[in-house]
Amino acid sequence: MIVAERKPIPRILKTIEPFKKIALIGCRGCVAICSTGGDREVEIVSAALKLARKKQDRPLEIIEKTLIRQCDPEYLKPLEKIAPQVEAVVSLACGVGVNLIADLYPEIKIYPGVDTLFYGANPALGEWEEKCRGCGDCIIDLTGGLCPIARCAKNLLNGPCGGSQDGRCEIRPDVPCVWHQIYERLKARGELDRLKEIWAPKNWIPAGHGGLRRRVREDLKVNKPNKEKP
């Protein structure tokens, strides 16, 4: 999932400072799962913002709504009814949702309420950990399923580095050295030979060369009506 973290309340307050009525829009996708921007967090952030503004003697009115997702245009439709009732919209979705709203509804003053952090897993309640950097050229078939791009502090492709001690990372001793883990994993799987292969240089072009990345599947696109008579 995409893991995000709520922005500090004073930062959100500063963003919406000129407004008397806003909409606070959550998302039931990744940010709900990582307890940052779902229904519950919309209620909490809304109450906190109202309380802060009440304290300033400048009451704030908030329309609360949580959408199924904010990264698909069809789920943004409720905004068309909400936006005309407010001066601004604060989204608790990840940056993808905020960007899509900004693309599709340029007339809406849309602001982020969260910082988007990383692609991560939820190894335990209340914990999220980066597992993937979305570099677009996955090499974890060679590394026992463990990603050195996301999980090595130096993003090494030929680790472990000289600083790895007792299987721990020298930059973050609380974190295991992923290259140590890769070695042990491949050894246990009888696949150590994979580390003897000379890998071709990693292709970094899919990691973001040339601006925004797009993926197109022509077979999934909506067909335009055929105007020619058979």
43 binds another protein (CB under 8 A): yes
Residue span binding another protein (CB under 8 A) among the ranges 41-49, 131-139, 175-183, 206-214 = 41-49
96 binds another protein (CB under 8 A): no
167 binds another protein (CB under 8 A): no
* Pattern 44-63, another protein, x by CB under 8 A: x--xx-xxx-xx--------
How many residues line the site for another protein (CB under 8 A)?
A: 14
Which of residues 61 and 130 has its CB atom nearest to another protein in the complex? Answer: 61
Question: Least distance in Å: CB of 1 to another protein?
Answer: 21
Which of residues 42 and 108 has its CB atom nearest to another protein in the complex? Answer: 42
Question: Least distance in Å: CB of 43 to another protein?
Answer: 4
Work out the end-to-end distance of the chain between its first and last CA atoms, rounded to an integer number of angstroms: 47
In this structure, how many other beta carbons lie within 10 angstroms of the beta carbon of residue 118? 16
20 binds another protein (CB under 8 A): no
171 binds another protein (CB under 8 A): no
Question: Least distance in Å: CB of 88 to another protein?
Answer: 19
9 binds another protein (CB under 8 A): yes
**What residues line the site for another protein (CB under 8 A)?**
8-10, 13, 40, 43-44, 47-48, 50-52, 54-55
